[in-house]
Structures are given as structure tokens and as C-alpha cells.
Structure 1
């Protein structure tokens, strides 16, 4: 099977959001490498790609941003340095796997998108309100704000979950998240203040996203609604409708708590899951069972 077919298959699969986000970042990275190389060969200009970048990156000037609103999302898929994209993708994979396992694909995508928007908004505000940055027009690109949102969401969701780090050993992810935030704060007076400020915007969003979800409010519902609309537009599929008693009605939604929160599983289900853990261990649980166990913990 060709690489093109592999890519097409990855994007056609349902419940494959994490791999799709990773793949999008890689494809854009490769696309800019090819663009820079071709433009350099044709024009001998090493910065020939900058006009394209300026149309996809977030400008710090509000007036320019108003004419390029799409940059609030597109900037979060752009990288130029190998180590930059490598660390972002590794963190997205490690922490995104946790978020996806417990909250599902749709909320992972919502986190990524909202983290990008929060990071961009805080960046623009800082570069227009803080005197140290006010007279320094710049552009913002990279997935770091989105990835930081995912990291803080995972740490807020599962603070005592541990990762084994080389030369250090097991570390609870709440401490990893704390280090990420502290490094971003410390880096504001360094060489990339805009990026560090965007990280903090993503971090705040990730924390609030989980806290609001636990309180019964899903901040990602607008993102999911837009995604559903785009999917219907692209595929031409109408909303699913059923006929009952001779009248066409919208298919009822699955049982869910008020305001888009986390549905609480029945106690009998939880007892069965706990019995399974006692027999076979936590790792024997399915993705759905882990999600039910987490939702039950929010009672």
C-alpha cells in the first residue's frame, strides 16, 4: 500500500483523532520543508516561504488578526525545527493518549483546538497590553500551546498517574505539568516570550477544561458542533433521523448529564469493573470501562 493510501486510511478511520493530529503536524512540517527548498532553488531566497507563513501564523497586531481569523488554528500545526516538532509530538502522544483513553477522541480534539485559541489570545493580549512587548510586532506558530493544554488536562484529570522518565524513574504527571508551567513562566524573559506566553494560555485552558467538565459543563461542545457541521458538509450526510408513529423526528441523543458533563454509570456496572480489576488488574480494562470508572470517581 502506498504512503498516500496509508494517509487516506488514517484520516478515514473513526476514533483515530490522536493519530490524525500527529499526522497533520508531520504533513505540514514536511510541506514547509519542501516549500522552503523549492523556493530557495528557484529564487535563491532563504526566506521565500515567509509570505506563506505570515498567512498561517498568528500576528500580534489585532487589526491584522481580524483579517486572518483562521490563524487562531492554523498556527498550531506549523513547525520548522526538528526538535521543536519532535518534543511537541512526543508530549502530544504521551499525554494525549491519556486524555483520549478517559475522555474520548472528540474531547481530545476540542482540547487541542481550544488550547490553540487560548494560547493565541493570551499572546495577542500580552503583546498589546504589556509595555515590555507592546512595540515588538511578531508572529506566533507551533503546537506548543495546544500540547500544553493537553498536558495540563491530563494532569488535572489524573494527577497521580505516573510516567517513567529515563534517569529519574516514576514521576507523577502533576509534577511534570508543574515543571512545564514554571519553565514557561521563567522563559518569558528569554528569547521566545511570545511562545512561552502562549504555553501559559494553553495551560490555563487545559486546567479549566477538566474542572468545568467535572462540574458538568463541556467547554468543547462548540468545537464539536463545528466539527460535525464540517463533516456533514464534506460528506453530504444529513443528520440521522428516525420515524416514530408516522412522524419524522431527530434521533434522540445518548443519555448524558446536563450541560454536556460526564454521564454517571450505574453502580452495578462499577461493581463489575472493580471485580474485573481484582481478578485481572487495571490494564485488563477496555477503554470504555476505564472511562466509566473515571466518570464514577466524579460522584
Structure 2
């Protein structure tokens, strides 16, 4: 048990593994809720568990939401079904790795949070506006990271539409078709038993698409998220004592893990570098590029 805790601490100490941190947080919340459910059920206090779940689920009714505004964030870190979290985290990992490789860790976080928030708002707005959903609004609540994962998946598919995944029984399939299949499936299920979740999927998918399109034109929707990340890092970062060496008259200080992203430190490549990267792609494919080369290629694509 001690080794597991140490491994988790080491992962959280790293600055460029945002995807792993998101998955670990979701998993930890799931395990805590699962353990609580077992203990409270055995002690015949299952009502307490339901109160806990209701406090983190996103309600459709605005009259309930105004008393629990934090649920717009907590709902996409909460799962109470093992297959639900398993699918969401696998989906998030597969597509999130691509975003991380090409755009850096902070863009994964931005897509996840913005997609989750947009999915939640889509769910609430449509349940309060459309007559079909208004009839089912009482007691309707939502949880799960599906909308946030859809945002990351569609973002990756918009960035690299022709990238292929090798699926069991199906072989290589371009990720744009995988994303399109799940969007159509969610659209078809907006009148089913999980209508709210599928409406949220569509909201997350839209944000994922717009995030990448705007980023390619030079507008980064994630700036507010990065500002919060930087503030959070400064708040909890330990400030070591200043070390001065009088011989060289230099002062050393630690810097924030969020002071710059991997993509932010990449300089604009010249045409020679771009030609070399493109030659490498033609010979060995996208997968052969290093993380720095992928980010240089994306930076060059933003130039008109």
C-alpha cells in the first residue's frame, strides 16, 4: 500500500503529466465513493451515501443548481459505475496522449475542463428550455467525465483527423471516424434513458472542435484555465530559502511547474526545419516524430 501511495505522489510531483493526474483524480474519487457505498450500505446507512452523491452530481434544475454551483466542476470527476469510469478513462487516455504530444500538457487540462463545463451547461440549458426535457427535469442529475473526454477526443480528431488507431477486430481506423461515430451515437440517444449525458457529450464535442480551430488561427480559449493553474501552483508551491553564492554573485530560485508549458518554450521553426520534419513524416509517419518536432509542426501551422 505504501508503494502505491509513493507512486501516486511521484506522479503528482511531475509537471508534464496532466493526463495521468486527471485519470488518477477520477480513479481516487471513484474508489473513495465505492468504499463509502459498501460501508454505508452494510451499516444500513445508504441514505447518507445518496446525500454524498447528490452533493457532487450536476442537477438539471436551476433552482437546485444555485445552491450547489460547485457541481458544474465536481460532476466530471465523479463516477459510480466501474464500466463508466473504465470507458471514460480509456477514451481520455487514447486521445489525450495525442493532444499532449502535439500541444503540451496544459492544453489537455484546458480541453478537459472547458469540455466538462460546456457539457454541463448544455445539459442544464436544454433541460430548462426544451419542453421534452422540461417534463423530466425533476430529480434529473448527471455525473461522469464523458463530456470532458469527448472534448479531448474531438480536439485530437480535429488536430490530427487522419491519425489511425488499430482497433481489435476492425484494424486501422482514422480517429476522425471514431469521433464521428460516437457523436452520431450520442445524437441518436438524446431521447433515450441517458438523454442528459448524451446532450453533454455534444456540448463537450463542440468545445473540442472549436478549441483546436481557434488555436490554429491564433486564439487560445484555454488562457483562463492556465491562469487558474498558475495561481494554484503559486499558492501551494513551497518557497525554498534563497541560496546565494558570493563567489559568482548568483541567486537561485525554484520556478513554478506551470510557469511555461512544453509547447510555450518551442521557438518558431524556420523553413529548413519544417522541410526536415515533413521529410521524416513522409518516410516514417507521424508516429516517428519526437514531441518537440510535433509541437514545432503545430506552431508552424498557425502561421498564415
Is the structural similarity TM-score above 0.5? yes
1:121 aligned residue: 121
Q: How many residues align?
A: 280
Does residue 17 of the first structure (1) align with residue 21 of the second (2)? no
Q: TM-score, normalised by structure 1?
A: 0.87
Q: Within 2, Cα distance between the matches of 1:266 and 1:278?
A: 19
1:128 Cα deviation after fit = 0.4
User: Structure 1 residues 15 and 39 mapped into 2: Cα distance closer, same or farther (>3 Å)?
Assistant: same
Deviation of the 1:63 alpha carbon: 3.0
CA distance in 2, matches of 1:159, 1:281: 14
- Gap change, CA 1:34 and 1:265, over 3 Å in 2: same
User: Greater shift after overlay, 191-200 or 164-173?
Assistant: 164-173
For 1:117 and 1:157, how far apart are their aligned partners in 2? 21
1:266 pairs, out of 270, 275, 289, with 270
Match of 1:41 in 2: 42
Which 5+ residue runs of structure 1 have no aligned equivalent? Answer: 239-252, 255-259
The answer to whether the 8 Å contact 1:265/1:292 transfers is yes
Matches within 5 A, 1:149-298: 149-235=151-237, 264-274=268-278, 276-277=280-281, 282-298=286-302
Task: Structure 2: state its 5+ residue gaps.
Answer: 241-258
Distance 1:52 1:163, change over 3 A: same
- Contact 1:17–1:105 (Cα < 8 Å) also in 2: yes
Whether the aligned pair in 2 keeps the contact of 1:149 and 1:202 (CA below 8 Å) is: yes
Further displaced range: 32-41 or 194-203: 32-41
Give the CA RMSD over aligned residues: 2.3
- The alpha carbon displacement at 1:267 in A equals 1.8
Change (3 A) 1:189 1:149: same
Q: 2-side partners of 1:90 and 1:216: how far apart?
A: 30
Which structure has more RCO (C-alpha within 8 Å, separation ≥ 6)?
A: 2
